[in-house]
Structure 1
Amino acid sequence: MGSLQRRHEFITSRLLGATPAQIRRMVLWESSLVGVVALSLGTAITVTVGILIRHAMTSGMTDVPVTVPWGVLLGIAGLCLTLAVGSALAPTTYILRRSQPSAAVE
């Protein structure tokens, strides 16, 4: 929805000389950076809560192994980034195909 609301911004960028490929790259970078920041904040919160819960559950016990499902976690992170980028690029591509710079007066 954010990309669909940016139609006039994309048209203005085209009038200033940006190519459709440049606009797609801009959206790709924006959505990737937003996804990475969100994943970083989520990771920090999850690690903090995990440490606190582990400490509360294992107090008084010794030699409790730590197991982290790295494959699953990396898969979730990759899927989240893929969805963020795809959900930003799909409407942008649609807008760039359907609108011409001459539509800026609308």
Structure 2
Amino acid sequence: MKFDTDDHKIGMVKDYTPWSKIDNYQDNLKPRSGVFLFANRGHDVRYVGKAAKRGMLDAIRSAINSDKDYQATRIKALYTYDDENALDLRRRLITAYSPLNNERGV
């Protein structure tokens, strides 16, 4: 399912990044709490991950090393106010998008 830009307006989202290539994720992301999305070129969400306080870059690296980026070429981050918001947002987005790489346990 394609990413809906209305998700930028969810109250727990403090800030967000534009879509960028997964290969360049270190260039555009900040080490904050929030969620990150892997998607294909058409922005069909493939995976939704969560990053704890100051752990965005480490969480993404771990997800990539675990092949959660399967069939994905793009990444986007939605920063939250705290870790609890990040967990709630991740659950909400997984329910909304049913990402293949979350469901398959890839």
**Which has the higher Rg, Structure 1 or Structure 2?**
1
| Structure whose residues are more often helix by fraction | 1
Of the two structures, which has the highest relative contact order with CA contacts closer than 8 Å and spacing of 6 or more? Answer: 1
Q: TM-score range by the shorter chain?
A: under 0.3
Task: State the TM-score, normalized to the length of structure 2.
Answer: 0.26
| Structure whose residues are more often strand by fraction | 2
